[in-house]
Amino acid sequence: MQTFDTLLREAELAHGHLCAGQILGVRLAMLGCERLGIDDPKGLVNPKDRKRLVTFIEIDRCATDAIAVVTGCRLGKRAIKFRDWGKMAATFVDLASPLRKDGDTPIYKAIRIAALESSKQRARDLYPQIENKNQQQMLAYRELPNADLFSEEWVAVPIHPREMPGYKSARITCELCGEGINYDREIHRDGKTLCEACAAPETRYYRPLTQEELSENSEAGAETSPQPAH
Ligand SMILES: [Zn+2]
Ligand SMILES: [Zn+2]
């Protein structure tokens, strides 16, 4: 395993600054790898360990970047699964040997690690003289034992082959918008093959700007980029 200081330095570079979240994230991910017996998750020395991990992360904050740095898991490689639960927790899934299969879906052994709510108080107890919370936690989170920072639980995680890194899927075209859909995310409805956005417009995270909004806000570039005609 790379040392804590090396990983923290890499995390600082990746994240843009050093903060308590980086320190907590590096330690959380190092602990996850250690529990799974994965010494070299990025396969720097031992290529056998590379691609052995999928990491579920339950928050998109500072620690998220640190966890990616330690594990080598990347969203763009499908090795990070983001669950937007707003919780400082991550689950490290060892792909090396599935426990068993449920139909087509292998079930893997994994360790879920969550930051303890009491860790902030532990930091206060350790460095009461430091008023700045971030400074206080940065120092304390380096030193406190794992048991003071994290809870751990062994869990089983099913991962369907289509969710795995490297899965090759057919590219399907949405019959309504004409955009391509990967990874079997198409939806069949009333004899049509549709993308998520067309099948369930109410769940879209966006809507087209109206003509009024376009002309109201010249920043949106009403003149330079008018709403394309359909
Ligand atoms: Zn940060
Ligand atoms: Zn569509």
Note the ligand closest to the C-alpha atom of 178.
2
Ligand 1 center to residue 72 CA distance, Å? 18
Q: Where are the domains of the chain?
A: 4-163, 172-221
pLDDT band at 51 (very low <50, low <70, confident <90, very high): confident
Please give the structure tokens belonging to residue 153. 């639980």
Among the CATH numbers 3.20.20.150, 3.30.1330.130, 3.40.50.300, 3.40.190.10, which is that of 4-163?
Answer: 3.30.1330.130
How many angstroms does the Cα of residue 34 sit away from the middle of ligand 1?
24
- Find the 11 Cα to ligand 1 centroid distance in Å: 10
Residue 212 tokens read as 């009024």
Cβ-contact 33, 71 below 8 angstroms: yes
- Output the pLDDT for position 62: 92
CA 162 / ligand 1 centre spacing (Å): 33
- Give the tens place of pLDDT for each residue, 177-230: 999 999 999 999 999 999 999 999 999 999 999 999 999 876 655 455 666 665
Q: What is the pTM of this model?
A: 0.90
